[in-house]
Structure 1
Amino acid sequence: MKPTTFLPGLLKSKPVVFGSSLLVTGLVTLIPTTAEAGTFTSINTCNLSDVQYTTNSGNVNASSCVGMITDPKNDVTSGGDPLLSFLNDNDFGFGDFDWQYSEKINVNDNGSLSPEAGTIDYGFDISVNGDGKGGLWSVTTALTSPFAISVKAAAGFSVYFFEDPTVDVFNGLWTTLGLRTPNGQNIPAISHISLFVTDVEPVEPVEPVEPVEPVEPVEPVEPVEPVEPVEPVEPVEPVEPVEPVEPVEPVEPVEPVEPVEPVEPVEPVEPVEPVEPVEPVEPVEPVEPVEPVEVPEPSAMAGMALVGGALAALRRRKKSS
């Protein structure tokens, strides 16, 4: 396969996780052409699924990849370069990050591993299948920010970029499928794998939070009928202030009245018997004056007796008549 020019920004492709399976929305496949790419040359044989990280929902592919890079043939020779410089210069279009070289794991011919420490330790480690063409990778400190894994085999290396980890990443898998020999037929055995991280400091793993029980849905509230607007109240005219009342002079206390001695009760009077009515007296007819009778002086007393007797006789006659 002919070498091609690497065009930064054209290799971005996001995976989509659906349930426990992974759907790759795009693969790095550039039209083969012959060109120089400044400081590196790449043939486009890498796939996003060559390197993945693991979640509870399944494996997640890389966001982008570049490779196989055949010039230079080695990704890390001293202090993370030349790959570290490519990353910090954003030559691959991964983004403007402050990249750091974490660690490289060399796989020896006898299958043993030889780690080479970088500038920041994430406890990077790998395991290798029997044929040397795949295996697992892991870290002891969670990867929570963008990171990249470089896989070196045979005549070149490929770089796999993970832009936005959806979980705290602790492990994944790797293959050398993107490092086929120039005839595209043979898959080489691994030489070494390197980890590069961005400027975000590693975060200690957080204990998982217990899931919260779902809340029962609240029944919808019936809409409240709108309240008719209240007519404005006419302002009350201010009341004129009342003149203060002059204080009333205190009344002198009244001297207490001496108590009256109780009156002894009066004995009841016995009722008087009614008097029978008196019959009316008939009027007496006036008596005709009697002419004076001359009484001889010597016999005056006898004369008066005669007169009295005459008057009495006269009254009796009147009554009888």
Structure 2
Amino acid sequence: MNSNASLINHHSFILTGIPGIPDKNPWMAFPLGFLYTLTFLGNGTILAVIKVDQSLHEPMYYFLSILALTDVSLSMSTLPSMLSIFWFNSHEIPFDACITQMFFIHSFGLVESGVLVSMAFDRFVAIRNPLHYASILTYSIIGKIGIAVLTRAVCVVFPVPFLIKRLPFCRSNILSHSYCLHQDIMRLACASTRINSLYGLIVVIFTLGMDALIILFSYMFILKTVLGIASKTERLKALNTCFSHICAVLLFYIPFIGVTMTHRFGNHLSPVVHMLMANIYLLLPPVLNPIVYSVKTKQIRSRIIHMFQRRRNRT
């Protein structure tokens, strides 16, 4: 009996919907469907507007396009398990499928962090050296930055599935969330996870931690440059171009810090808190990023309004 349970645990995991009240899972189906719809519509609109409007073919908007693609990819990584649980009441996920989902979730999370660093560099160049902005951030350079960000994420996350697959699983196979995360799978192992924990800590410090520091230093230099501008109107105009990016940074890093803290130090907290923090971390930024950029970026906002007015006139 025990060996059979061990075999099952080795080949599948059970994902969790709403902890403690599984009968309420169907009630979450429509809000989640609405959030995913907003994510795809919002980011799709941003991509369509930037592609169609030639005046938006600038470095800032190319980086915004990469951010939108990353948000869509991150949402697509969680969509299958979310739909499986809340729409079809199917909680079991095969071991290999769980590992694959974990790989993509962590990879696109690192890509998003790298894109935010790139966007900070973009704002730094635009404010610090506006005359050479277009010549510094050429199409070729932007493409190389995008490839470097993606390559870094894949290389950093690539060992994680192998570190997980080497572990024996003979305890409960019930995960805490509606999707697979390294920290969540790791805690179910019945062997030492010191290497996994150490590697995870190194990744957080030398990727996400370093990214956060680079963004912070970028804005220190930006602020120093802005304060040197004589005109108050020009200072406010320069800072306003950074507002959307600052919001995107906060939307990514605050939930990430929250979910990391609850995993490491929140064992005494209710499972509902863990579920909420994990879902906010992955669902909130892709939903709100296009809204923030649409509302706060005048060029994007005006193009979206113009696009919808033109469609209304046609009808």
Give the TM-score normalised by the residue count of structure 1. Answer: 0.20
RCO higher in structure (CA 8 A, sep ≥6): 2
- Relative to its length, the structure with more helix (as a share) is 2
Give the TM-score normalised by the residue count of structure 2. Answer: 0.20
